[in-house]
Structure 1
């Protein structure tokens, strides 16, 4: 009776291993399930071998306690794996947050630099406008001076024409 059970446990174990190999690592849950099935098959096979060699009779209370302890050990193992997974996720989240803070600081520094540059350019434009205004005032003053000199020249030309007309008229008389 033990031989058929050993064969079915070995078949279950090898089928689970074949499924795991065919799945190509389709996820942590699948891998954990296959691992649990493989472990269960190995445990059943070991129990069958043990029962075949030594007939052990245990009362129901001891068997249920041992079964409960085995279940708790598996649960603890699964929970430990989950804790490790969560710790890795937490470490990744902390690293991502640190990178985000660094990028934010760099962006803020770049923004401050751009604002300072904008202020410098604004001051340069204001200074250029002031210089331009002074040059315009100077040009207006020169233009007024030129206009005054032109008017003086016209007056002098008129005086010269008048005098030259008198001289021409005086020598003809």
Structure 2
């Protein structure tokens, strides 16, 4: 009669680990569906067919369809190609897909990213210049901020006169 091996503690899956893994899988699936539905909405708003966008982005029709349905999570490179095909900001797609963190709200940034008269590269250069100006202004304001200056009181002029020997 063959003996059945007993399962050791190492072989028994950790229920907490399984739960974390399941949560991550759900999160990735939600992100894929979110980016897919966003791409589909942008494509439909631009009145571009699935085939046209696939051709513009250099991907196959079935692959793009799977992305839109949330079955596939596209790489950053493919997202960049789709962004070009849709003439939308690749940064917006990267944020939506979770590749980049959302930056603070800025009407200047939003206007630049929405502008269709300039290329993606031109948008990125302008944003870098804008951000460098913002950083420069922030550091200048920090330098101008008052440092630990003691509060002036009614006694201050008198005590200063005593110190100077008057």
Q: TM-score range by the shorter chain?
A: under 0.3
Larger radius of gyration: 1
Give the TM-score normalised by the residue count of structure 1: 0.24
Considering fraction of residues, name the structure with more helix: 1
